[in-house]
Amino acid sequence: MKRLGKGQGFSAAVLKSVAVCSMLLDHTLKTLWWDAPVSLYVLGRLAFPLYAFLLVQGAKHTRNMGKYMLRLAIFALISEIPFDLCFGREPFDWYAQNVFWTLLLGLLAIWSYEEADRRGALWAGMIAMIVALRLGDMLQVDYESPGVGCILFMYFAGKTSHKGLQLVLCGLGIAWTGAFSLLFGGNLLQLCALLALIPIGLYNGQKGRQGPRFLWYGLYPLHLLLLWLLQIWL
């Protein structure tokens, strides 16, 4: 993504903070406050596109892709029971997997594509991406194949230096996710995720002050456990 000047726009830390707040709001609405104003549900749609965008930025700048993937895998495992308890009311729900799995599949697809490209076997990288998309559906990860596809659209957006084309590709990825939801009983609110293009477009390429890495990761399973407990008590 083309960078804004120093002091302008939003850093990755700001985008991550917005994503976390949006996620907390979205999950609270889904589990505890179903009749909340529509405007709040709109704000809750920003989370996944921002996390997908930040994943791609992380893949671009990480010093160790293997450790990055391992962290996602560890927290995917840690988060699975809290996720199932929060949204399925049972410790093991084989028909829904948490979003860390979606992010991991997207990152694996990016890594496979880049490794294949370095070896002059771009066709193998494309096959890896197709496999990742298919696994998204087979494993029924959060957002399924369109979620993985959204990550890949944002990855290819970073391959061009044209700001307008970058936003178009990011928008196509987000719209695909929303359209898929509509086909399977969702509502038009899913397309409000396109509003995430505003903070994405204002990204300045700076890391910003992000605090301990594992705090951001650990917040996901912890807040799911808290919401599950609140559902029991309230």
> What is the predicted pLDDT for the residue at 180?
72
Report the alpha-carbon distance of residue 202 to residue 79 in Å, rounded. 31
Q: Mean pLDDT over residues 137-144, rounded?
A: 95
The number of folded domains in the chain is 1
**HSE-up of 39 (CA within 13 Å, CB side)?**
0
Residue 3 belongs to a domain: no
Q: Would you call 82 helix, strand, or coil by DSSP? A: helix
Residue 6 belongs to a domain: no
Alpha helices for 45-196 (secondary structure H): 47-61, 65-88, 99-118, 122-138, 144-157, 163-183
Residue 7 belongs to a domain: no
pLDDT tier for residue 1 given thresholds of 50, 70 and 90: low
Q: Mean pLDDT over residues 213-221, rounded?
A: 90
pLDDT tier for residue 212 given thresholds of 50, 70 and 90: confident
Residue 168 belongs to a domain: yes
Residue 4 belongs to a domain: no
pLDDT tens, residue by residue, 81-124 = 999 999 998 999 889 999 999 999 999 999 999 999 999 999 99
Residue 2 belongs to a domain: no
Residue 169 belongs to a domain: yes
| Domain coverage including residue 29 | 12-233
Which are the contacts of 220, defined by CB distance < 8 A and separation ≥ 6?
23, 75, 79, 98, 99, 100
Residue 1 belongs to a domain: no
Residue 3 DSSP label:
P
